[in-house]
Amino acid sequence: MEESQVAAIDEFHTQLSTNNSSPLVGKLKKLLYKRMLIGVNDSRYFLGVFHCIDKQGNIILQEAVEYRITSRSAPGLADQRCLGLILIPAACRSSCHVDCSIEEKMSLMSLS
């Protein structure tokens, strides 16, 4: 793909993403670049930097590491694997935690 075409795609999506005035979206933006731990429904966890999310709740993590429980009889042991950039579809996400300060946690809890 030509560089100009890549730039055009990026420009188009930048226009869609920056002008939302919802306070909730504003709070969500503040979670960007934070470490996020997402559980998926086959019991794996993915830890990475929160990079992007869309309306459907699909999340992209940067520098992601996969944690997989090695043995059901010894659940404290987990294999780790570096995966890089990953997309976690909303349908298979079972939990989502953010690494933050206690104040930020209180703020998040107030929403629920």
Residues 65/46, Cβ–Cβ less than 8 Å: yes
Among 2, 4, 46, 82, binds other proteins (CB under 8 A): 46
By CB under 8 A, residue 53 contacts other proteins: yes
CA dist 13 and 104 (Å) reads 29
What is the footprint of other proteins within residues 21-40 (CB under 8 A)?
22, 24-25, 27-29, 31-33, 35-37, 39-40
112 is a site residue for other proteins (CB under 8 A): yes
Binding mask 58-77 for other proteins (x = CB under 8 A): -xx-----xxxxxxxx-xxx
Do residues 110 and 104 make contact, with C-beta atoms less than 8 angstroms apart?
no
